[in-house]
């Protein structure tokens, strides 16, 4: 499914584009060891309007957080989809955290792009229960898909089947948060071609829950991270979904690497990070980036 595109992941550079490829950067997100991020829906529930599948209504946000929600839709949206495996229970808190992370991220993008940012969908976080248990995503073998890309491919395949999403969708960018753990040796969060997918640790990260190391040898500090880092993961993979590559030279460990960009280790520094000039120019030219959103300003560690 992604065999002809470069799946961009963050974390260790595991390979170059040439099949379904995943890139990652520094200790980052989607690599075999580190996992990235998540979102959710808040506003009304007209989600079904654009899709052909049912969408569970997401719990309404608390009044106190109302001013910190994403702006009402103002352009082609980034659709945040929370996929609940058949053996998992939907967590209202995950919907809330994804929603607030989306609001924070809208403000971050707006701060970087001269007042323009991405829109969300009328149902900010669309929730679907999938036909597969959580373990299926890391274990199901699909012909032609490597171990490295197994989790991501299965997650995206289910997301597409449930929502009608597709790669390079001209109308939507799709970010799937799947409550399933990728296995050691598999990419977790990654983004490419208007699509991004994130595993359980990103949901846990946004929710401030303990993360589960993907590989036994993973450094604890990869996981002992505050919610902001996981919003940073959302920023990074959305950047990939919108077409951004990693900064030049970073994957080659060159000194010229713009390391603190959110498209590299800035993920871990969010929100004290940035899109560099080339990244801003690219995003500014995207049909998904428009002016019109408000800019709630709150602490991303208090989603």
Using CB under 5 A, list all residues that contact Zn ion.
Answer: 8, 10
Kindly state the smallest distance separating residue 270's Cβ from Zn ion, in Å.
13
Q: How far is the CB of 240 from Zn ion (least distance, A)?
A: 6
Nearer to Zn ion, 99 or 201 (CB): 201
Toward Zn ion, which CB reaches closer, 123 or 192? 192
Nearer to Zn ion, 238 or 289 (CB): 238
> Which residues, including other chains, have CB under 8 Å from residue 11's CB and lie 6 or more apart?
24, 25, 26, 27, 28, 29, 30, 31, 32, 33, 34, 187
Number of residue whose CB is nearest Zn ion: 10
Residue closer to Zn ion by CB (options 36, 61) is: 36
Q: What whole-number distance in Å separates Cα of residue 215 and Cα of residue 136?
A: 18
CB 52, min distance to Zn ion, A: 31
User: Smallest distance from the beta carbon of 237 to Zn ion, in angstroms?
Assistant: 7
| CB nearer to Zn ion: pick between 136 and 275 | 275
Identify which of residues 163 and 214 has a Cβ nearer to Zn ion in the complex.
Answer: 214
Report the nearest approach of Zn ion to the CB of residue 45 (Å).
32
3-state secondary structure of 257: coil
* Least Cβ distance, residue 219 to Zn ion (angstroms): 19
How far is it, in rounded angstroms, from Cα 154 to Cα 151? 5
DSSP line for 48-111: GGT-SS--BPPPPPPGGGGGGSPPPP-SSEEEEEEEE-TTS---HHHHHHHHHHHHHHHHHHHH
> What is the per-residue burial (b if ≥16 Cβ within 10 Å, else e) of 95-124?
bbbbbbbbbbbbbbbbebbeebbbbbbbbb
């Amino acid at each position: 499914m992604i065999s002809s595109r470069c799946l961009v992941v963050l974390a260790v550079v595991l390979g170059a584009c040439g099949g379904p490829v995943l890139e990652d950067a520094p200790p980052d997100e989607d690599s075999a060891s580190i996992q990235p991020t998540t979102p959710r829906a808040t506003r009304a529930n007209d989600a079904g309007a654009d899709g052909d599948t049912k969408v569970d209504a997401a719990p309404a946000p608390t009044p106190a957080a109302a001013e910190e929600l994403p702006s009402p839709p103002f352009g082609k949206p980034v659709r945040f989809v929370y996929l609940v495996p058949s053996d998992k229970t939907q967590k209202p808190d995950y919907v809330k955290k994804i929603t607030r992370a989306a609001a924070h991220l809208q403000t971050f993008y707006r701060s970087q792009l001269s007042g323009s940012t991405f829109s969300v969908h009328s149902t900010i976080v669309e929730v679907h229960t999938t036909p597969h248990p959580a373990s299926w995503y890391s274990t199901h073998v699909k012909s032609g898909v490597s171990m490295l890309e197994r989790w991501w491919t299965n997650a995206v395949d289910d997301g597409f089947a449930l929502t009608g999403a597709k790669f390079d969708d001209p109308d939507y960018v799709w970010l799937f948060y799947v409550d399933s753990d990728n296995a050691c040796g598999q990419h977790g969060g990654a983004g490419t071609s208007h699509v991004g997918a994130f595993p359980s640790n990103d949901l846990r990260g946004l929710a401030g829950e303990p993360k589960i190391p993907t590989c036994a040898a993973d450094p604890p500090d990869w996981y002992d991270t505050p919610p902001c880092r996981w919003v940073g993961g959302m920023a990074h993979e959305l950047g990939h979904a919108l077409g951004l590559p990693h900064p030049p030279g970073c994957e080659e460990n060159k000194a010229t690497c713009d390391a603190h960009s959110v498209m590299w280790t800035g993920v871990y520094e969010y929100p004290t990070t940035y899109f560099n000039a080339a990244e801003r120019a690219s995003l500014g030219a995207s049909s998904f980036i428009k002016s019109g959103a408000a800019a709630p300003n709150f602490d991303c560690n208090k989603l």
